[in-house]
Amino acid sequence: MSIKYVCSECGKKYDPKSLVFRCDCGGLLNLEKFNFTFSKEDILNNEWSLFRYLKALPFDDNFTFWKDITMGEGLTPIVPLEKDNPNLLVKVDYLMPTLSFKDRGAVVLIAKAKELGIKKVIQDSSGNAGTSIAAYANRAGIQCTIYVPENTSSKKIKQITSHGATVNIVKGTREDTAKEALKAVERGDGFYASHVYNPFFYQGTKTYAYEIYEQLNGEVPEALVIPVGNGTLLLGSYYGFKELLALKLIDKIPKIIAVQSKGCAPIYKAFKEGNINVKEVTNTGTLAEGIAIADPKRGKQILEAIKDSNGEIITACENKIIETKVYLSQKGFYVEPTTAATFAGFLDYYKENKLKGKVVVPLCGSGLKSDI
Ligand SMILES: *Cc1c(COP(=O)(O)O)cnc(C)c1O
Ligand SMILES: [Zn+2]
């Protein structure tokens, strides 16, 4: 598929083969709209992974490499958290091959990288995205180097290393790590398999919406609660529901309730101040490492998505994270602190804003990944 990247600022188009990751003007690259038809009948019912929505993914019909690398990612359960409230649903997205939802984006991005003939990838992450990229790159026979900040959980680092990737631990903040990875990409060390910059990652995370559509039999939840750091799940879900709407398979999209951590909440700040752009903040510290993104590159797009969905953005208190982790464990779900933070923020909101319809909250990362 000769699908192009298109600059979100100036509209210039690029061939993904050219290995650009950002427009000459500095703008972020999106994926050009590609036409596809999709209906319930197009779901591949015998494919037990997110590739059951293959028709909605940006691959040629005769492209089959995904079969070599899929590990059955996606198709995660949606279940009520407790029997007394059938409307409060959790989607257990840590039930993935590498134990976080990032496998959705990584499998699609790496399949695409293989299609483009890539031999080596570089990525930076606070842990989970790096783990996913490392696992799928290895399966695809692509060399992989992951840059992580020094405070990354030791378990995540072990996980990345065991998937055969080279890990570069960078002193300083998450943003310093991103800068180091960018330098390597600019030196020509490899293809930037970034979950932030590379639009193919979002083609994978959009399956979160397709799954909800299938699993709820076409019923659109009133709200999706979504943690937001770089916005890969938020934007992916938004794109997915917008596509389902354009395909006339649904008649509205769910309200997006985004959650940030109080200690690092640039998108929250911009939203509340009514800005259309997101300014970098200082991370004052949070246990929710997975959403501690002080300078989210797609901040403007995230704000637009929340507003278009008639949504809201909330923050999670640091002192509720541990108790919420315990609360979820007592319901049977063992999650990492970032997921506990998401839930903590949501629970506070839920007490004050009774939502009438269904609300879906993702459990994004497994508790086995954290040192806490
Ligand atoms: C990556 C991640 C997030 C945040 O996702 P973004 O794409 O950065 O918005 C939330 N929770 C967990 C467990 C994650 O791994
Ligand atoms: Zn541009």
Q: Read off the CATH number of the domain in which 143 is found.
A: 3.40.50.1100
Which amino acid residue places its CA nearest to atom 2 of ligand 1?
290
Which of 192, 213, 233 is the last residue in one of the domains? 192
Residue at 54 is within a domain: no
Domain boundary among 192, 222, 254: 192
Query: Other C-beta atoms within 10 Å of 34: how many?
Result: 13
End-to-end CA distance of the chain: 44
Out of 205, 361, 364, 368, mutate this one to test ligand 1's pocket (max ligand atoms within 8 Å of CB): namely 364
pLDDT per residue over 251-278, tens digit each?
999 999 999 999 999 999 999 999 999 9
Regarding whether 205 and 88 lie in a shared domain, the answer is: yes
Same domain, 331 and 357: yes
Amino acid identity, position 280: E
**Residues 282, 182 share a domain:** no
Residue 18 within a domain = yes
> Are the beta carbons of 248 and 216 closer than 8 angstroms?
no
Residue 53 lies in a domain: no
Q: Are residues 226 and 88 in the same domain?
A: yes
DSSP string, 197-212: T-THHHHHHTHHHHHH
Q: Is any atom of ligand 1 closer than 6 Å to the C-beta of 190?
A: no
* Distance from C-alpha of 309 to C-alpha of 195, rounded to nearest angstrom: 23
Determine the atom of ligand 1 nearest the C-alpha atom of 335.
13
Calculate how far, in angstroms, residue 320's C-alpha sits from the geometric centre of ligand 1.
18
Q: Is residue 47 part of a domain?
A: no
Ligand 2 centroid–CA 28 distance in Å is: 7
The side-by-side arrangement of strands in the sheet containing 166-170 is 166-170, 143-149, 120-124, 191-192
Distance 248 CA to ligand 1 centre (A): 29
231 lines ligand 1 (CB under 6 A): yes
Strand segments (E) across the chain? 5-7, 13-14, 29-31, 78-80, 88-91, 120-124, 143-149, 166-170, 191-192, 223-227, 255-261, 312-316, 359-362
- The rounded average pLDDT for each run of 10 residues, N- to C-terminus, in the chain (372 residues) is 92 93 96 94 97 96 93 98 96 98 98 95 93 98 96 91 97 92 94 96 98 98 98 98 98 98 98 97 93 96 98 97 98 97 97 92 96 84
Q: Which residues surround ligand 2, an ion (CB under 5 A)?
A: 7, 9-10, 12, 23, 25, 27
Considering the domain boundaries, does residue 55 fall inside one?
A: no
Give the atom of ligand 1 at the shortest distance from the alpha carbon of 94: 13
Q: Residue 179: which domain range?
A: 102-192
Q: Could you tell me if residue 308 is inside a domain?
A: yes
Same domain, 111 and 162: yes
Q: 29 and 97: one domain? A: no
The domain boundary, picked from 192, 216, 244, lies at 192
Ligand 1 centroid–CA 61 distance in Å is: 31
Residue 205: predicted pLDDT: 98
Q: Give the closest ligand to the alpha carbon of residue 256.
A: 1
Same domain, 314 and 266: yes
Which DSSP symbol is given to 130? Answer: H
Give the distance from CA 84 to its chain's centroid. Answer: 30
CA distance 283 to 85: 36
The predicted structure's pLDDT at residue 372: 83
Q: What's the token pair of residue 317? A: 């208190």
Our count of domains for the chain comes to 3
The answer on 311 and 212 residing in a single domain is: yes
Testing ligand 1's pocket by substitution, the residue of 90, 96, 100 carrying the most ligand atoms inside 8 A of its CB is 100
Residue 233 CB less than 6 A away from ligand 1 = yes
pLDDT tens, 215-228?
Answer: 999 999 999 999 99
